[in-house]
Amino acid sequence: MNPLLLALFFLLGSPDDPSSDAFRSMTSIYEQLDIHRPSWETFEKAFTGYDKISQNYELNLEKPYLTIIDLNLPSDKKRLWVIDLKERKILFNTYASHGKNSGNLYAKHFSNKKGSYQTSLGFYITGISYQGRNGYSMYLEGIEKNFNHRARERAIVMHGAWYATEKFILNYGRLGRSYGCPAIPPKIHKELIDTIMDRTVLFIYYEDDRYLEASQFLPH
């Protein structure tokens, strides 16, 4: 891992402590992102989780990327960000679908159960790419027990979809919905998957009380 991130995650303290150098570094990264950045509240939670995951899981040292999907936003907004923490810039800001039983314009219902067709909240580690029934796709490893640890069993992956486009939004007022997968626009899906695949962190977030109280990666 590059020296900046090593210092940030192992020497500067905890990002949940406002008096720490790590918190100041997190704030500095956020302030240098462009105007299309996620909300501070969402970024702070995502970054705090990234910090804890980086200390307990083997991540790709060549890819200091954090992907955030903020489901507090409606699906007609660009609610997915890929952030390069080293270069302090946004690599992608695009649309992402939610599960068909999670809601219509807004996702409000979440599940880890097979056959629920709902989105699973929490932190994931990205896997390898493959060719499947949805074309070029990427495996996701859910690392939060009771929230997303059945991702592989449920075939929750990232893939491109014709219904995750601005054209669909113009016709229906929202994105189409998946069986629980974070589907993204097909024009960029391969480039985005190739960027974040192979052990980077992805965070699917909604301000759900049960999740916020139980997640092992967020402060309580």
Q: Please give the Cα distance from 23 to 155 (Å, whole number).
A: 36
The string of pLDDT tens digits covering residues 65-111 is 999 999 999 999 999 999 999 999 999 999 999 999 999 999 999 99
Return the number of other C-beta atoms located less than 10 Å from residue 190's C-beta.
15
- CATH classification at residue 201: 2.40.440.10
- Can you give the residue range of the structural domain that contains 175? 60-214
Whether residue 182 lies inside any domain: the answer is yes
Structure tokens at 80: 């997915």
11 within domain boundaries: no
Spans in the chain with pLDDT lower than 70:
1-14, 16-20
Per-residue model confidence (pLDDT) at position 23? 83
Percent of the chain whose predicted confidence (pLDDT) is above 70: 91
Residue 52 lies in a domain: no
d(CA 55, CA 46): 15
Give ∠ CA 77-214-152 in degrees, rounded to 5.
Answer: 65
Residue 190 in domain: yes
Residue 149 resides in a domain:
yes
Number of domains in the chain: 1
Q: Tell me if 10 is assigned to some domain.
A: no
pLDDT of residue 24: 83
